[in-house]
Amino acid sequence: MTTSIDQTIAAAQEYIASRELHQALSLLSPLVATNKNNAELLQTLATAHLEVSALPEEHDGEAHAEKAYAYFVEAANLDDANGKGDFEKYLWLGQLSGGRDAVEWFRKGCNGLRKDLSSEDIAEEKKIELRKKLCDALCASVEIWMTDLCMESEAEATCETLITESLMIDSTHPESYSTLASIRISQQRQGDARIAVQQAWELFKSSAESQRLNQSLSVDGSDEVSQITALKNLTRLSIETELYDIAEDVCKRILSLDEDIAEVWYLSGLASAQKYSTSGDASTLLSAYESFQTALELTESNADEAEELTEELQQKIAETEAELSAKGVKYANGKAGGPRNGDDDDDDEWLDEIEDDE
């Protein structure tokens, strides 16, 4: 019995869903030469290459990402010529591109999403999913306008238009408020930015609780990765708007998902250090020191961590040690007041020592 091309694509999509990515590539790659006009084949193959490129153990990730981009472009060109096809490839191309090209890909993807959302035949659960994708794409477009195209005369007005649409589509989308905060910071409207950050965090907390109750995080962990990326951005915005308590809380949320992210320990330390500079509370200085030390340990055990982060951590640790010494706080083995995982009695003992010194 001969397997049809549609059956093979369906089998490959199942492999992708179950994270058997190389099996998907093995199925589809031999078919490209004789099926160059099959947009679904090209898009599925592109998706497999893109997923492989993101695997931590993949040493040839850049090559897979380049292949993904090329196949997505071929699929998009076929869809443009035929006047049909779905929006996913355009959203991926927007993420893989930059500048005007990225904006144009996102525009096409958003148009497809708007068209699907206007259909009366879509179930409400599907509409919720499409609204999120549209809001994500609109926010991603804003990011392009605020970075690659920030010097264009229409950049600010375009950002306002895009974020307004996103908030109208879904007023409970946390990333929209993070994006709004970023816009307001760029406009030096610090008060409005702080309100947006606070709203984003409240919505993230509500969303996390809903996911916990419904156990709705994806099996392959992709939702978790997306959430961590969004929360890291919110942490930076919280620090920039001097909402240090929120920044610390966001870091705790991220570390409950993955405690081995050096950048998050660094951001946690940065929030605590900035908080200390305004409050003078020695306990926050100790928290900063502990976080910086943990981040440095993680960078030293992970060759993929950026060298710039290691250098920044070394500088922050030196500065914090100097401040601790000036306050008469003892630290040993690179740990202020005691080991990172010391027992509660030890913690109370060295905190009491600080209070006595003060």
- Confidence at residue 338, expressed as pLDDT on a 0 to 100 scale: 42
- Confidence at residue 79, expressed as pLDDT on a 0 to 100 scale: 80
Q: Does some domain include residue 320?
A: yes
Which residues of the chain, if any, have pLDDT below 50?
1-2, 83, 213, 215-220, 336-358
Count, residues in the chain = 358
263 and 356 in a common domain:
yes
| Chain centre distance of CA 249 | 17
| Residues in Cβ contact with 102 at an 8 Å cutoff, skipping those fewer than 6 apart | 93, 94, 95, 141, 144, 148
Distance CA 270, CA 295 (A): 11
Question: Do the beta carbons of residue 48 and residue 16 sit within 8 Å?
Answer: yes
Is this structure's pTM higher than 0.95? no
Question: Do the beta carbons of residue 106 and residue 94 sit within 8 Å?
Answer: yes
Q: DSSP state, 173?
A: -
248 and 289 in a common domain:
no
User: Phi/psi at 152 (nearest 5 deg)?
Assistant: -70, 145
Q: Does some domain include residue 182?
A: yes
Number of domains in the chain: 2
User: Phi/psi at 332 (nearest 5 deg)?
Assistant: -135, 150
Question: Do the beta carbons of residue 339 and residue 333 sit within 8 Å?
Answer: yes
Q: DSSP state, 2?
A: P
- Confidence at residue 222, expressed as pLDDT on a 0 to 100 scale: 57
Q: What domain range includes position 185?
A: 172-207+225-256
- Confidence at residue 212, expressed as pLDDT on a 0 to 100 scale: 55
354 and 271 in a common domain:
yes
237 and 177 in a common domain:
yes
- Confidence at residue 325, expressed as pLDDT on a 0 to 100 scale: 87
Q: DSSP state, 218?
A: -
250 and 263 in a common domain:
no
